[in-house]
Structure 1
C-alpha cells in the first residue's frame, strides 16, 4: 500500500470510529455523498430522485451475462429481451465479477454495453472473508458465506485490514477503468455489504455489532472516494426487510447520511400463502421512500423475488409480478420506489448451484404455467420502465 494511501486512511479513522452521526435536515438541493462525483454520476442521482413516483424501473441481476434462452454472454442478449422485446432498465452484477478470482466472469465489456445502451448499472458485494480467504475449499470456507466474524479485523488496525483494502483496490481499479468509448467513466450504484441484518455473511448481525458494521461501511465508502479517487459511484445501503417495518429498526445499523445515496432493502418470500409477505414488501417500500424523501436520497428495492428453495423446487406463482406491482401501486408512498431488481437466471452448474431463475422465459413450460403471460403483463403496464423507456439519463 502506498504511503499516501496509508496517510489518507489514518485521517479517516477518527471520523469513522468516533461519535454518532445525526441525520439532520435534508439539504436544499440533494446531491451525491461524493462531493467530487462525476457529472454523469450526478445526473444519474438526480434522475433516480426525479423518477420516484413517476414509474418503477425494472432491474435484473446478470441481465446479459447469464440466462436460460440466450446463445451468447457478450452483452447483446438477455432472457428479459427474449421474453418482452426489451432489456431491463437496471443491470445488476457483483464483486464476484471484479475481485479475483472473478468466479462469475469479467463483466467490464458487458457493463459498458449496458451503459451505452442507456441502462443503469448496479454492483452488489460478495467479498471473501478477509480472515479466512486463504482457506478456500468446500463452500463456504473463505467466501462471503464463511460466517467467521471478520468486521473488526477488517477495520483499520485489524489483522485482516490489508486483505480487505486489497479487495477494495481491485474494485477501485475496475471502477477507474470502466469507461465508455468516448472516455466517460461509467456511473455505478455500488451496494455496500448488503443484507447485513441477516446472519449468512461475515459482516452480518451475528458477526458484528451495529457500530462495527457502520464503521466498516463508512471506511469502505471513504476509502473508495477519498483514498482511491473513485468518482463514478453512488452508494447504496440495503439490509433485509424488517418485520415490522420501522425507522428505528432500519436505523440501528444505518451508517449515516454522509455515506448513503440509495436507501433500499432485500426481500424474498414464499411462493404460496404470500399475502402477508406482499404487505410487508409494501410496508418496507413505504418506509425507505419516507426516509429517502426526508434525507434527499433515492429509495429502491435492491433485491426481491420468490425465495430460492421454492424456485429450485419448480414451484411458481403465475400472478407474482402482477401482485407485486399492484401491491406497490396501491400505496402512495410505496409506489415511489425508483427501481426494483430480481436475481439472476442461471442454468444448472453456475457457481456449482442448482438451476434457478426470476425472469420468466419463453421456454414451453413457462407458457403453459402462465408465468410468461404474467411477466408480459408487468412489462406492458405503464408504470414499469425497461431499457427502451429510459430518457437520456446521463446528461
Structure 2
C-alpha cells in the first residue's frame, strides 16, 4: 500500500439550470443532484427525443460546429471537491468531448460507444459555494447528453498495488524498476519525454533531464524494413539506460501486409487503419493463414531488439497495441476481441518462445471491454491530448483506470500533450505514475506547454527527474526512492592528440554530471580539470607534447560524488593537424522516400590517420534542392557526440542537383575523433516550415539506395577551412 497523491482532470463548464435532488441529506449517503440537459443553456445545439431511454423531457445533441456547447449552472452548499457524472448516448463508435468548469479547462472526457443511454463518472471538480458553471463542448464524434449528476466526491480508497509482476520469470532489473515505481506511487511522478533527441532540448531550456524516455520500435517493423527503413532506437535506449534513466517502448506496428501505398495512404502510414487492408480479425481467427504467420514474423523481429535490451540488462516498460479502442490503428479496427487475442499472443510468444523477461507490461485503454486481463497487465494507462495549455490532471480518465484495475495496478499517462499540473494532482486525488510528453510541437511550441510550465513541472518537489533517481538496477524497495551517490565511471579511455588528450567513459547509473581530474604523477594527487560535464567525453587541451598526463573521472548527483575511476594516461603529441586524406565521411539515407516532407541524412566521420582531430575544426556540407521558397528547419535527432554539440546552418549552392546546402559544425564539447576512431552516428533531419514535400530525386547528396553506412564523396568535409573529403556539385 502506498501514500496517496492527487492531480486534476480536464476542464468543465456546465450551467445546470434545474436541479432535482436524488438523495436527501441525512439519509446516510452523500446528497446528489441531477441536472437535465434540456434545461441547460444551449449554444448551437438542439433538444432531441428520437433516441429512447432518456430521462426528463429530452436530451441535447447536434454538437456539430466548433462553438456548439451545452452549459449548466450548478449550485452547491459549500466549497469542495465534487464528483460529476454524465448521462449520455454514444452510438457508432467511441467519442470524446471536453469540459470547462467556471470557464477553466477541466479536461477531456472519453465517451465509449453505447447502444443506449448510460451513466459514467465524467470528472471531479473543485466547486465554489453557490453558483458554478459547467460547459460541455463539441469535442469530436456524435453524442447525445441526457443529464449531469453532481455529488460530494468520496474520499479516495487506498491503493492495493503490489510489486509482483505478471511474468514469473521477470529479470532482477525489471523487479527493481517496478519496486521503485510502486514505492513512489502516490507521492512522486516520473517526468518522461518521447524521443531521445529531445533530452538535450530539455536540458538546455529547462535545466533538467527527464527520468524516463520513450522509444518506438516502428522502424523495425518488417514491412518498413522491406522499404529500406533502419533504426538505432535500441542502441539509444541502451545509452539512456546507462545514464540511469528509465526506458519505455511503444510499437507503431506497420501492418504485416496489405499496405495501400498511394498518396495520403503511403506505406509508411501502414499502422493506420485507413492505410492498410490487413484484417486482424481474419488473422487471429485463422492461425493456419499467411496473415497469422506474418504476425508471428513481426513479433519475432521485435523479439530480436528486446533480446538486445535484455542482454544489456535494460528493463522496459513495454506498451504494445496502444490506443486500440480508438480504431485508428489496424490492431483496433475490428473491435476488442481480436486485439486482446493479439496482445495475449505477444505476451505468450515473447515470454514463452523467446524467453524475453525484462518487460513490465503496460496496457493502454480505459475501456473494460478492451482489457486483456490482470494476468498479462502490470500497468494500465491513458494517452492524454487535451486542449493546448490545459494542465488539469485528467481526473475522468484516471478514475476510470482505477475502476478498471480495481485500484490494484499502477496508472500511467503514457503519452500527453499538455502536462498535468502537479499541484492540481494533490487537490483532485489523481496519481499518475509517470507522464511522457510527445515530441515536436507538443514540447517546443510554447503553447501546449509553456516554458514556465515546463520549468514548474520539472522542478516540482513531486516530480522526479534523472538526477533524482536511485540506481534503478539495484533498487530494493527499502529506500523509498532516496537518491544514492552513483558508482565510479567505468571504461575510462584516453587518446592522445596534438597537445590534447581525448577522454571517454561509460555512464554511471543515476549520475547527473562528471568531473575530470588530472595529475602529473601516477596515483595523484589529482587536480580538477573540468566539472559539471553532462556527457561521457571530454577533451583536455593546451597540453605539452611528449609529457605523460594521468586522469581519473568521478560521477556525481544530488546525493554526492563517487570514488575515482580507474586511472588512465596519455602522452600528447606536438604534430600538425591531420593531413588531407586521413578523414572520410560515411553516409546512409535515414529516409529513403524521395517524395515526402522530410530529408533524413545520417553521417559518420572516420579518422584513418595517426593523430586525433578536434570536431570543432570540422564542417560538413550536405547538398540538396529545397524545392520551393519556404523557410527550412533542421534537427539532429541523435548524435553519439551529443545532439546539442552539433550546429546547423543553411547556405546557397549552385550546380547540378543542388541549390542549397546544410552545414554541420561542432562545439568544443563534441570532443575529438581519436586516431583510428570515428564520430559515431549523426542523424540529421530537415523539413520545410509548412511541412510540404521535397523532391529528392536527383539531389546531389541524396542516395536512397544507401541504407547502410558507406563512404560517400558527395558529402563535403572541411578541416580548418580546407576541403579534406568530397566535392561540391558542378
Q: Same fold (TM over 0.5)?
A: yes
Partner SS, residue 160 of structure 1:
helix
1:358 matched residue in structure 2: 442
Shift of 1:305: 1.0
Aligned residue-pair number: 306
Q: Please, which runs of 5 or more residues in structure 2 have no aligned partner?
A: 1-158, 475-730
Does the 8 A contact of 1:152 with 1:158 survive in 2? no
Tell me how far apart the structure 1 counterparts of residues 384 and 299 of structure 2 sit (CA, whole Å). Answer: 26
CA 1:344–1:379 in structure 2 vs 1: closer, same or farther (change >3 Å)? same
Contact 1:132–1:141 (8 Å) recurs in 2: no
2:282 pairs with one of 134, 137, 153 = 153
Is 1:31 aligned to 2:164, yes or no?
yes
In 2, the alpha carbon distance for the partners of 1:140 and 1:360 equals: 28
The equivalent residue for 1:7 is none
What does 1:252-267 align with in structure 2 at a 5 Å threshold?
252-267=369-384
**Which structure's relative contact order is higher, taking Cα pairs within 8 Å and 6+ residues apart?**
1
Counterpart for residue 296 of structure 2: 165
SS in 2 for 1:269: coil
Q: Deviations over 1:135-176 (max 9, x none)?
A: 444443551013446222332334411211111111111111
1:174 to 305, 329, 335: 305
Please report how far the alpha carbon of residue 291 of structure 1 lies from its aligned counterpart in structure 2 after TM superposition: 4.7
- Structure (1/2) with the larger strand percentage: 2
Check whether the contact 2:188–2:433 (CA below 8 A) recurs between aligned residues.
yes
Q: Is the 8 A contact 2:192 2:214 kept in 1?
A: yes
For residue 216 of structure 1, report the CA deviation from its aligned partner. Answer: 1.1
Q: Following superposition of structure 1 onto structure 2, how do residues 47-62 of structure 1 map, counting pairs within 5 Å?
A: 47-62=180-195
TM value normalised by structure 1:
0.70
CA distance in 1: counterparts of 2:282 and 2:438, whole angstroms: 30
Bigger-Rg structure (1/2): 2
1:124–1:194: 8 Å Cα contact kept in structure 2? yes
Deviation at 1:289? 4.2
CA distance in 1, matches of 2:416, 2:449: 20
Matches of 1:188 and 1:391, distance apart in 2: 17
Are the equivalent residues in 2 in contact too, given 1:263–1:288 (CA < 8 A)? yes
**Aligned twin of 1:288:** 401
Verify the 8 A CA contact 1:61 1:92 in the aligned structure 2.
yes
Q: Pairwise mapping of residues 1-395 of structure 1 onto structure 2 (< 5 A)?
A: 30-62=163-195, 64-65=196-197, 67=198, 78-100=200-222, 101=224, 103=229, 105-133=231-259, 135-142=260-267, 143-147=270-274, 148=277, 150-155=279-284, 156-178=287-309, 184-204=312-332, 207-239=333-365, 250-271=367-388, 278=392, 281-289=394-402, 291-292=404-405, 294-295=407-408, 297-306=409-418, 321=419, 324-332=421-429, 334=430, 336-345=431-440, 357-360=441-444, 366=446, 371-395=450-474
Structure 1 residues 330 and 267: alpha-carbon distance in aligned structure 2, compared to 1, 3 A threshold: same
RMSD: 2.7
Deviations 1:281-314 (A, max 9, x none): 122123324555643x3210111115xxxxxxxx
Q: Mark the CA change 1:104 to 1:29 in structure 2 (over 3 Å): closer, same or farther.
A: same
Deviations along 1:326-347, one digit per CA (max 9) or x if unpaired, are: 3323222x1x2210111013xx
Post-superposition offset of 1:90: 1.0
Deviation at 1:88? 1.1
